[in-house]
Amino acid sequence: MTDYELTRRDALKALGAAGVTVGGAAALTWDRSEDEPAERSEDETNDTESEFGDHERETYRAVAAIVYPSEVAGVREFVDSYVTGRVEADPERATEMTTAVADLDAYTREWEDTVFTALDTDTQEETLRGMGVKAADPDPHGDPRHRVRYYLVNDLLFALYSSPTGGELVGIENPQGYPGGTSSYQQPPNNR
Protein backbone atom coordinates (compact mmCIF):
# COMPACT_ATOMS: atom_id res chain seq x y z
CA MET A 1 0.00 0.00 0.00
CA THR A 2 1.20 3.47 -0.81
CA ASP A 3 1.01 6.62 1.27
CA TYR A 4 -1.28 8.15 -1.37
CA GLU A 5 -4.34 5.90 -1.39
CA LEU A 6 -7.35 7.58 -3.03
CA THR A 7 -10.70 6.78 -1.44
CA ARG A 8 -14.40 7.41 -2.04
CA ARG A 9 -14.08 10.18 0.54
CA ASP A 10 -11.48 11.83 -1.71
CA ALA A 11 -13.94 11.57 -4.62
CA LEU A 12 -16.67 13.20 -2.53
CA LYS A 13 -14.33 16.04 -1.58
CA ALA A 14 -13.29 16.52 -5.22
CA LEU A 15 -16.95 16.59 -6.27
CA GLY A 16 -17.62 19.22 -3.61
CA ALA A 17 -14.72 21.31 -4.91
CA ALA A 18 -16.27 21.03 -8.40
CA GLY A 19 -19.58 22.31 -7.03
CA VAL A 20 -21.36 18.98 -7.29
CA THR A 21 -23.78 18.13 -4.51
CA VAL A 22 -24.20 14.43 -3.89
CA GLY A 23 -27.39 13.30 -2.16
CA GLY A 24 -25.90 10.38 -0.25
CA ALA A 25 -22.67 8.44 -0.01
CA ALA A 26 -24.33 5.38 -1.52
CA ALA A 27 -25.25 7.39 -4.62
CA LEU A 28 -21.77 7.08 -6.09
CA THR A 29 -21.93 3.48 -7.20
CA TRP A 30 -21.90 2.33 -10.77
CA ASP A 31 -25.09 0.35 -11.34
CA ARG A 32 -23.84 -1.79 -14.22
CA SER A 33 -22.29 -5.22 -14.02
CA GLU A 34 -18.51 -5.44 -14.22
CA ASP A 35 -18.99 -8.33 -16.66
CA GLU A 36 -20.50 -6.16 -19.40
CA PRO A 37 -18.20 -5.49 -22.37
CA ALA A 38 -16.41 -2.13 -22.24
CA GLU A 39 -15.71 -1.79 -25.95
CA ARG A 40 -18.43 -0.47 -28.21
CA SER A 41 -19.00 -0.98 -31.88
CA GLU A 42 -18.21 1.87 -34.27
CA ASP A 43 -21.92 2.72 -34.56
CA GLU A 44 -22.30 2.99 -30.80
CA THR A 45 -19.23 5.19 -30.31
CA ASN A 46 -20.31 7.51 -33.14
CA ASP A 47 -23.65 8.18 -31.44
CA THR A 48 -22.78 11.27 -29.38
CA GLU A 49 -26.29 11.40 -27.93
CA SER A 50 -25.86 8.00 -26.27
CA GLU A 51 -25.70 7.82 -22.52
CA PHE A 52 -22.51 7.71 -20.51
CA GLY A 53 -21.81 4.01 -20.03
CA ASP A 54 -19.19 1.38 -19.39
CA HIS A 55 -17.06 2.27 -22.39
CA GLU A 56 -16.83 5.91 -21.30
CA ARG A 57 -16.03 4.89 -17.75
CA GLU A 58 -13.24 2.59 -18.99
CA THR A 59 -11.87 5.44 -21.09
CA TYR A 60 -11.77 7.77 -18.08
CA ARG A 61 -9.95 5.07 -16.10
CA ALA A 62 -7.42 4.63 -18.93
CA VAL A 63 -6.73 8.36 -19.18
CA ALA A 64 -6.35 8.61 -15.39
CA ALA A 65 -3.82 5.77 -15.44
CA ILE A 66 -1.75 7.90 -17.84
CA VAL A 67 -2.06 11.36 -16.27
CA TYR A 68 -2.04 10.42 -12.57
CA PRO A 69 1.34 10.04 -10.82
CA SER A 70 2.46 6.46 -10.24
CA GLU A 71 2.58 7.09 -6.46
CA VAL A 72 -1.23 7.16 -6.33
CA ALA A 73 -3.23 4.01 -5.59
CA GLY A 74 -6.97 3.39 -5.63
CA VAL A 75 -7.37 5.19 -8.96
CA ARG A 76 -10.09 2.91 -10.36
CA GLU A 77 -12.53 3.38 -7.47
CA PHE A 78 -11.74 7.09 -7.19
CA VAL A 79 -12.36 7.72 -10.89
CA ASP A 80 -15.55 5.65 -10.86
CA SER A 81 -16.95 7.56 -7.89
CA TYR A 82 -15.94 10.98 -9.20
CA VAL A 83 -17.21 10.40 -12.74
CA THR A 84 -20.47 8.85 -11.49
CA GLY A 85 -21.08 11.94 -9.36
CA ARG A 86 -20.39 14.25 -12.32
CA VAL A 87 -22.68 12.28 -14.63
CA GLU A 88 -25.55 11.97 -12.16
CA ALA A 89 -25.41 15.64 -11.17
CA ASP A 90 -25.39 17.08 -14.69
CA PRO A 91 -26.88 15.09 -17.60
CA GLU A 92 -25.93 17.85 -20.05
CA ARG A 93 -22.29 17.59 -18.99
CA ALA A 94 -22.55 13.80 -19.22
CA THR A 95 -23.49 14.18 -22.89
CA GLU A 96 -20.43 16.40 -23.44
CA MET A 97 -18.23 13.89 -21.59
CA THR A 98 -19.58 11.13 -23.86
CA THR A 99 -18.84 13.29 -26.91
CA ALA A 100 -15.25 13.86 -25.73
CA VAL A 101 -14.75 10.09 -25.41
CA ALA A 102 -16.20 9.64 -28.92
CA ASP A 103 -13.76 12.31 -30.18
CA LEU A 104 -10.84 10.43 -28.65
CA ASP A 105 -12.08 7.14 -30.11
CA ALA A 106 -12.51 8.70 -33.57
CA TYR A 107 -8.90 9.93 -33.52
CA THR A 108 -7.66 6.58 -32.20
CA ARG A 109 -9.64 4.67 -34.82
CA GLU A 110 -8.11 6.84 -37.55
CA TRP A 111 -4.53 6.07 -36.46
CA GLU A 112 -4.77 2.72 -34.68
CA ASP A 113 -7.93 1.19 -36.23
CA THR A 114 -9.52 0.57 -32.83
CA VAL A 115 -10.92 2.44 -29.83
CA PHE A 116 -8.70 4.04 -27.17
CA THR A 117 -9.38 1.46 -24.44
CA ALA A 118 -8.24 -1.41 -26.70
CA LEU A 119 -4.69 -0.02 -26.83
CA ASP A 120 -1.85 -0.80 -24.43
CA THR A 121 -0.86 1.98 -22.02
CA ASP A 122 2.19 3.12 -24.00
CA THR A 123 0.17 3.44 -27.20
CA GLN A 124 -2.60 5.26 -25.31
CA GLU A 125 -0.04 7.79 -24.08
CA GLU A 126 1.37 8.20 -27.60
CA THR A 127 -2.17 8.67 -28.93
CA LEU A 128 -2.92 11.49 -26.48
CA ARG A 129 0.40 13.11 -27.36
CA GLY A 130 -0.21 12.68 -31.10
CA MET A 131 -3.66 14.20 -30.81
CA GLY A 132 -2.05 17.29 -29.31
CA VAL A 133 -3.95 17.08 -26.03
CA LYS A 134 -0.96 18.14 -23.92
CA ALA A 135 -0.53 21.44 -25.77
CA ALA A 136 -4.24 22.08 -26.36
CA ASP A 137 -6.11 24.72 -24.42
CA PRO A 138 -8.99 23.21 -22.46
CA ASP A 139 -12.11 24.42 -24.26
CA PRO A 140 -15.48 22.69 -23.93
CA HIS A 141 -16.57 24.17 -27.28
CA GLY A 142 -13.30 23.78 -29.18
CA ASP A 143 -12.18 21.13 -31.60
CA PRO A 144 -11.85 17.48 -30.46
CA ARG A 145 -8.40 17.83 -28.86
CA HIS A 146 -9.59 20.83 -26.84
CA ARG A 147 -12.67 18.92 -25.65
CA VAL A 148 -10.60 15.85 -24.73
CA ARG A 149 -8.26 18.12 -22.78
CA TYR A 150 -11.19 19.84 -21.00
CA TYR A 151 -13.51 16.89 -20.24
CA LEU A 152 -11.01 14.09 -19.74
CA VAL A 153 -7.51 15.26 -18.85
CA ASN A 154 -8.21 18.49 -16.97
CA ASP A 155 -11.29 17.20 -15.17
CA LEU A 156 -9.40 14.13 -13.95
CA LEU A 157 -6.44 16.24 -12.83
CA PHE A 158 -8.77 18.67 -11.07
CA ALA A 159 -10.41 15.75 -9.27
CA LEU A 160 -7.06 14.38 -8.11
CA TYR A 161 -5.52 17.63 -6.91
CA SER A 162 -8.67 18.97 -5.27
CA SER A 163 -8.93 15.82 -3.13
CA PRO A 164 -7.19 15.63 0.26
CA THR A 165 -4.90 12.80 -0.89
CA GLY A 166 -3.99 14.51 -4.18
CA GLY A 167 -3.40 17.78 -2.35
CA GLU A 168 -1.10 16.05 0.10
CA LEU A 169 0.80 14.52 -2.81
CA VAL A 170 1.80 17.98 -4.05
CA GLY A 171 2.17 19.58 -0.62
CA ILE A 172 -1.17 21.36 -0.39
CA GLU A 173 -2.37 20.59 3.11
CA ASN A 174 -5.90 21.92 2.58
CA PRO A 175 -7.13 21.80 -1.01
CA GLN A 176 -10.21 23.89 -1.75
CA GLY A 177 -13.32 22.32 -0.32
CA TYR A 178 -11.40 20.41 2.37
CA PRO A 179 -11.75 21.88 5.85
CA GLY A 180 -8.63 21.96 7.95
CA GLY A 181 -9.23 24.54 10.64
CA THR A 182 -6.78 27.00 12.11
CA SER A 183 -4.42 24.31 13.41
CA SER A 184 -3.54 23.20 9.86
CA TYR A 185 -1.76 26.42 8.94
CA GLN A 186 -0.07 26.76 12.31
CA GLN A 187 1.86 23.50 11.85
CA PRO A 188 4.89 23.01 9.60
CA PRO A 189 4.24 20.82 6.52
CA ASN A 190 5.00 17.12 6.76
CA ASN A 191 8.22 16.29 4.97
CA ARG A 192 8.01 12.99 3.16
Three-class SS state of 87: helix
Decide if 24 is inside a domain.
no
What is the pLDDT at residue 141? 95
What is the domain extent for residue 134? 12-18+36-176
- Residue 79: alpha-carbon gap to chain centroid: 5
Decide if 121 is inside a domain.
yes
Decide if 62 is inside a domain.
yes
The per-residue pLDDT for range 29-62, each reduced to its tens digit, is: 545 444 443 444 444 444 434 589 999 999 999 9
pLDDT at residue 1 is higher than 50: no
Decide if 132 is inside a domain.
yes
Cα–Cα distance for residue pair 76/131, rounded to 1 Å: 24
Decide if 112 is inside a domain.
yes
Decide if 116 is inside a domain.
yes
What is the pLDDT at residue 21? 80
Percent of the chain with pLDDT over 90: 61
Decide if 85 is inside a domain.
yes
What is the pLDDT at residue 178? 52
Cα–Cα distance for residue pair 152/46, rounded to 1 Å: 18
What is the pTM assigned to this prediction?
0.79
- Select, from the ranges 33-37, 80-84, 165-169, 172-176, the one with the highest average predicted confidence (pLDDT): 80-84
Spatial CB neighbours of 44, under 8 Å, sequence gap ≥ 6: 50, 55
For residues 76-90, give the mean pLDDT. Answer: 94
What is the pLDDT at residue 187? 59
Residue 169 — pLDDT band, cuts 50, 70, 90?
A: confident
Q: Which residues of 80-109 are buried (b: 16+ CB within 10 A; e: fewer)?
A: bbbbbbbbbbeeebbbbbbbbbbbbbebbb
Decide if 40 is inside a domain.
yes
Report H helices in 90-143. Answer: 91-112, 121-131
What is the pLDDT at residue 154? 96
Cα–Cα distance for residue pair 84/87, rounded to 1 Å: 5
Residue 92 — pLDDT band, cuts 50, 70, 90?
A: very high
Domain count, the chain: 1
Higher pLDDT, 18 or 189: 18
